[in-house]
A and B are shown apart, each in its own frame.
Chain A
Amino acid sequence: DAGVTQSPTHLIKTRGQQVTLRCSPKSGHDTVSWYQQALGQGPQFIFQYYEEEERQRGNFPDRFSGHQFPNYSSELNVNALLLGDSALYLCASSPIWGRGFVRNTEAFFGQGTRLTVV
């Protein structure tokens, strides 16, 4: 089992550009969450996708958007990049939810994509 895989591992973009990051969840997982981790800080929740819909969102502007595909993989898009968007972007997947209740399960994280905005 490959676990959670993210691509690319590193990326350098110019201020004002757009970027797309990709995530493949662990086999058997259908819920994908994205986190941003600035240097020296803990990860901050961006949003979560389940059944191809955004189910929960953290305190991030609309420049941050996402998508989940039928095979459960996900993309994170960031438009109009700012220098402050430089961070490690982490994807986490969780096992299948039970219908109507939250299964208190562990999240599996990928190694992350290191984005540098210059």
Chain B
Amino acid sequence: DAKTTQPNSMESNEEEPVHLPCNHSTISGTDYIHWYRQLPSQGPEYVIHGLTSNVNNRMASLAIAEDRKSSTLILHRATLRDAAVYYCILKATNFGNEKLTFGTGTRLTIIP
């Protein structure tokens, strides 16, 4: 399985943008980049995913490097509810290989 590398922890002030980095230098051409987050005492929650182009949704934006060896999850205006562990995951797209391989993620702390 292709591996991702994330910082163990990050802090950000409330109402400011947050940029969460992820390195995935061994990504294959067909791997999608998925981000999930896990709030305290809850199951993981899907945030966003992309292949090559930058993506936006109501929760966040995903910026993907041109060589696809890294990506950045952007929370445009962090709130206290965004405090969670954020996981960057490479998801294969070959039939029968649907698993999500989680690392240890980045623990995001929001400072009021």
**Chain A residues at the B interface, C-beta cutoff of 8 Å:** 4, 31, 33, 35, 41-45, 48, 55-56, 58, 90, 92, 94, 100-102, 104, 106-112
Contact = CB atoms under 8 A, between A and B. Distances in A.
B41 to A, nearest CB: 8
Contacts of A94: 98
Interface of B: 32, 34, 41-46, 49, 85, 87, 91-105
Contacts of B103: 42
Contacts of B49: 104, 106
A109 B39 CA distance: 12
Contacts of A48: 98-99
A106 B33 CA distance: 11
A98 to B, nearest CB: 10
Contact of A101 (B34, B92, B95, B100): B95
